[in-house]
Structure 1
Amino acid sequence: MSKNPFGNMASLMKQAQAMQEQMTKIQEEAASKQVTGTAGGGIVTVTVTGGMQVVSVKIDPEVVKSGDVEMLQDLTVAATNEALRNAREMMANELKSLTGGLNIPGLL
């Protein structure tokens, strides 16, 4: 009696579908979490979601008074980049449970 060569394929497809569903759930949960990035010793703080959406920018009023717009712009960019980097890192950590720690290119 020979085995059905497609039996293993069906099992693999079910596993892939279950993994996709888990990944979608993890991504949805992470999208609701928030992380921050700061620059200038806390002069600028940017908060983003795991879905890479900026939800707030806080700027120390004293830096606004100084009138140094270029510095404020640079600090805002730096804080935003740090927040986004933190969000990607959070997402990668969330997905580690699904991938067993494997770094799968293109997953993030």
Structure 2
Amino acid sequence: MFNFGNLAELMKQAQSIKENVEKAKEELKNEKIVVEVGGGMVKVVSDGLGTVLDLEIDKSLLNENEYPVLKDLLIAAINEVSERSKEVVADKISQATGLPMNMSKFGGMF
């Protein structure tokens, strides 16, 4: 025979996890991740969800001869800020769900 008390408790836990995940998403929107590459020549700031909020480029890189260096630094900075935001997301979701970080990366919640 099915125990509806267990189902009710499971539904309550699921709702709690959902609320915690929504709270984590809001916190991630307010998180700031700053990455500097090239000795600080390029700086990228993103929120915890990986949205780039700001980009600073040293003026010495803004000439035609430095274009390849600038391009490489921008790619490196954007990739690094993206990776860091994924780590922040995994940590927040782990906290919200109680799952280990490596498990919370799965499921496409973000």
Regarding TM over 0.5, the answer is yes
| 1:82 is aligned to 2:80 | yes
| Alpha-carbon RMSD | 1.9
Residue deviations 1:59-106 (CA, integer Å, cap 9, x gap): 111122463112101110110111111111112222232233512322
Instruction: Please give the residue correspondences for 1:1-108 in structure 2 after superposition, counting only pairs within 5 Å.
Output: 5-65=3-63, 67-102=65-100, 103-104=103-104, 105-106=106-107, 107=109
Asked if structure 1 preserves the Cα contact closer than 8 Å seen for 2:21 and 2:97, the reply is: no
The total of aligned residue pairs comes to: 106
In 2, distance between residues paired with 1:99 and 1:14?
13
Asked if structure 1 preserves the Cα contact closer than 8 Å seen for 2:33 and 2:46, the reply is: yes
Higher helix proportion, which one? 2
Higher CA-based Rg: 1
Instruction: Name the % identity.
Output: 33
The TM-score, its normalising length taken from structure 2, stands at 0.83
The TM-score, its normalising length taken from structure 1, stands at 0.85
Asked if structure 2 preserves the Cα contact closer than 8 Å seen for 1:38 and 1:78, the reply is: no
Structure 1 unaligned residues grouped into runs of 5+:
none
